[in-house]
Chain A
Amino acid sequence: MSDPILSVRNLRVYFEVSGDGWFGARKVLRAVDGVSFDLDRSETLGIVGESGCGKSTLARAVLGLVQVTSGEVRFMGHDLVHLDHEKLREQRRHLQIIFQDPLSSLDPRMNVGQIIAEPLRSFFPRMSQQERQEKVIDMMRHVGLLPEHINRYPHEFSGGQAQRIGIARALITQPEVVVCDEPVSALDVSIKAQIVNLLADLQAEFGLSLLFIAHDLASVRHVSRRVMVLYLGKVMELAPWDEIYRAPRHPYTQALIQAIPPADPKRARTNPAKPLGGELPSPIAPPSGCVFRTRCPYAVERCAQEEPSLRHVNGSLVACHLAEQIPKPARTA
């Protein structure tokens, strides 16, 4: 095994938010609270969690786009958290991001050629105009855009094509790691599959390492062999896909699986999508002990007192005191 390309250790991102009323004391929102993981070369790690679980903040922290409170992000031997501005900028071209909403992440006043070329202008200011143009056209072909559309503007493209532009812009600097922040969530079903397949092809072709963020398990299974499940800023389970599928060990992972509607009327009648009870607690005042315990059907007293650490249970890493005792869920899909 070679060293992982990206290594995150005990990453914390806290935000200060204003308190109640005009003079209320400021409070701390724990968006990412002690997350650790490794990303191997040419691997795709799926990161799954619902709104407010900290997945997007985690992505931005890895890229140095938000202030990290504590912890380490090691990328090819550099600790990105403690790198000075100049050196961080040098590393940036190796770390790129694809956003969820393709249209709002593209400048409407720039044409496609300018949008895709912008990272080259920024990171390789001495590159000749001709070389830049060649690289842009080459990349447009790779992502399935017609080179003759190079002078068109973002509004002239459909959502799927706009996402191809976003992908081309992210890949033009030949990055090592690409963070995909829900790249297909905003797209129509028929287009989603096109983009997922494109990302898989490009990953194989360029040997990319991907962090693939999604809000449900079904969307990451086609791209990633390992999945990390987040809840309220903490890792609940980190396991190979097969383990997540055959033996999801954390009650939250199980809840995510059981909430997926089966897309089969007969199975839906006998075994419909099962809602998770309760509401998401506030990240400003998370529950004591295990953060999931307020919605967990198996919670016992210990869960309120002692925070479970992420520990090995067979082939998985699970943060649950009861991981060995919890029964496998009835499969819904």
Chain B
Amino acid sequence: MADAPLLEARKLSVEFATREGVVRAVSEVDLDLAAGETLAIVGESGSGKSQMLLSLLGLVARNARVTGSARFKGEELLSAPENRLNEIRGSGIGLVFQDPMTSLNPYLSIGLQLTEPLRIHKGEDRAAAAAQAIDMLKAVHITEPERRMQQYPHQLSGGMRQRVAIAMALICRPEILIADEPTTALDVTVQAQVLSLLREIRERFGTAVILVTHDLGVIAELADRVNVMYAGKIVERGSVEDIFYNCRHPYTEALERSIPQFTEVRPARLTAISGNPPNPVRLPPGCAFAPRCPYRLGVCDQSVPPLETVSPNHTKACFYEGPLGTAAELSA
């Protein structure tokens, strides 16, 4: 572990002014990332996980208000001018999205898209940039890299596009790779390719990874630490072992119990979490998960549980102190 955190966010909030009122997508979130480690952020649609990361890079929509602090190697990102953010986005922090076509331009050849950041951020000449691009395509296991350089995104399969998008995010050797649901749109065998690729990249380049996902299988494969988000807040935070073997928040437990497992014993029913995620415009006054929680106490409807320490690196935001796993069925 490194001495100073590579990335450090404090009380990071993202609010949107909408016609229905102010929506707080991210609410006072703290985030720490050390060099070389992989941090997973898990949560469902609308939990604020993507908005939180986009806010770090100044990529939120115009009607968003971002408050708090976010430092990349000690440098404040939230007040950084656009041209400085542009430099960081290219060479300090790389981004990979769920749909590779979000990051790839359909009108430009793979070669042009891969060499452009090198020429802009690193000032490389055409030949040097092309050589590095071909090396990077090899690193992400693209066959016939020289030919692919001439091709356009539509000529590649979905899995290849995602690997090219990863190559593009890594081309300037960033210290952090943010991967937002990088395997959600992929088939299971292709997902396995991308997971093993991310593992290799991490070892080879020492890149720290922030992995956003709702798939606990992906987390078990890659993560060192896990932040669980619900309705814009972190509700549990710990090592991957804490989260899988000793989880302390009912939402984390529910997520774990609702994944379809490939096991011989077939339960009659899947364990489902009842109800729906809350409307961010009208969050309940207490714990946002309380309306769906099988362990709900009286206090849960009145006040918001603070993040408290379970063990040195394991925190949870929940008033319930009893054992989990006692709600036989989280109701269907």
Q: Which residues of A contact B (CB under 8 A)?
A: 50-51, 158-161, 188-194, 196-197, 200, 215-219, 221-222, 241-242, 245-246, 255-265, 267-268, 272-276, 279-280, 332-333
**Which of B241-263 touch A at CB < 8 Å?**
241, 244, 254-256, 258-263
| B188 at the binding interface (Cβ < 8 Å) | yes
A173 CA to B269 CA, complexed, in Å: 26
Chain A residues with Cβ below 8 Å from B44 are: 188-191
Chain A residues with Cβ below 8 Å from B192 are: 258-259, 261, 273-276
Chain A residues with Cβ below 8 Å from B20 are: none
Q: B189 contacts A50, CB within 8 Å?
A: yes
Q: A272 contacts B195, CB within 8 Å?
A: yes
| B190 at the binding interface (Cβ < 8 Å) | yes
Chain B residues with Cβ below 8 Å from A274 are: 192
Give how many A-B residue pairs fall within 8 Å (CB-CB): 145
Given contacts A196-B272, A259-B189, A263-B259, 19 further A-B contacts (CB under 8 A): A189-B214, A190-B254, A190-B258, A191-B276, A192-B270, A194-B273, A216-B187, A221-B262, A222-B260, A241-B266, A246-B264, A257-B262, A261-B192, A263-B217, A263-B220, A265-B244, A276-B189, A279-B143, A333-B261
Q: A264 contacts B262, CB within 8 Å?
A: no
| B66 at the binding interface (Cβ < 8 Å) | no
| B45 at the binding interface (Cβ < 8 Å) | yes
Q: Are A261 and B45 CB-contacts (below 8 A) given A192-B260, A196-B270, A219-B260?
A: no
Of B5-13, B96-104, B157-165, B203-211, which stretch is located at the interface? B157-165
Chain B residues with Cβ below 8 Å from A221 are: 260, 262, 266
Chain A residues with Cβ below 8 Å from B45 are: 159, 188
Q: Name which residue of chain A comes closest to B159, CB basis.
A: A279
Q: B190 contacts A50, CB within 8 Å?
A: yes
| B179 at the binding interface (Cβ < 8 Å) | no
Q: B269 contacts A275, CB within 8 Å?
A: no
Q: Which residues of B contact A (CB under 8 A)?
A: 44-45, 143, 157-160, 187-193, 195-196, 199, 214-218, 220-221, 223, 240-241, 244, 254-256, 258-264, 266-267, 269-274, 276-277, 332
Q: A158 contacts B189, CB within 8 Å?
A: no
A242 to chain B, nearest CB (A): 8
Q: A272 contacts B332, CB within 8 Å?
A: no
A65 CA to B88 CA, complexed, in Å: 50
Chain B residues with Cβ below 8 Å from A217 are: 262
Chain A residues with Cβ below 8 Å from B255 are: 189-190
Q: Name which residue of chain B comes closest to A194, CB basis.
A: B272
A59 CA to B202 CA, complexed, in Å: 41
10 intermolecular pairs with C-beta atoms under 8 Å apart:
A190-B273, A191-B273, A193-B270, A194-B274, A217-B262, A218-B259, A221-B260, A260-B217, A261-B221, A275-B196
Q: Name which residue of chain B comes closest to A272, CB basis.
A: B221
| Among A158, A197, A258, A259, contact of B270 (Cβ-Cβ < 8 Å) | A197
Chain B residues with Cβ below 8 Å from A191 are: 44, 272-273, 276
Q: Are A200 and B254 CB-contacts (below 8 A) given A188-B214, A265-B241, A272-B221?
A: no
Chain B residues with Cβ below 8 Å from A255 are: 189
Chain A residues with Cβ below 8 Å from B218 are: 261
Q: Name which residue of chain A comes closest to B160, CB basis.
A: A279
Q: Name which residue of chain A comes closest to B183, CB basis.
A: A261
Q: Which of A219, A246, A257, A261 has the most CB of B within 10 A?
A: A261
Chain A residues with Cβ below 8 Å from B263 are: 333
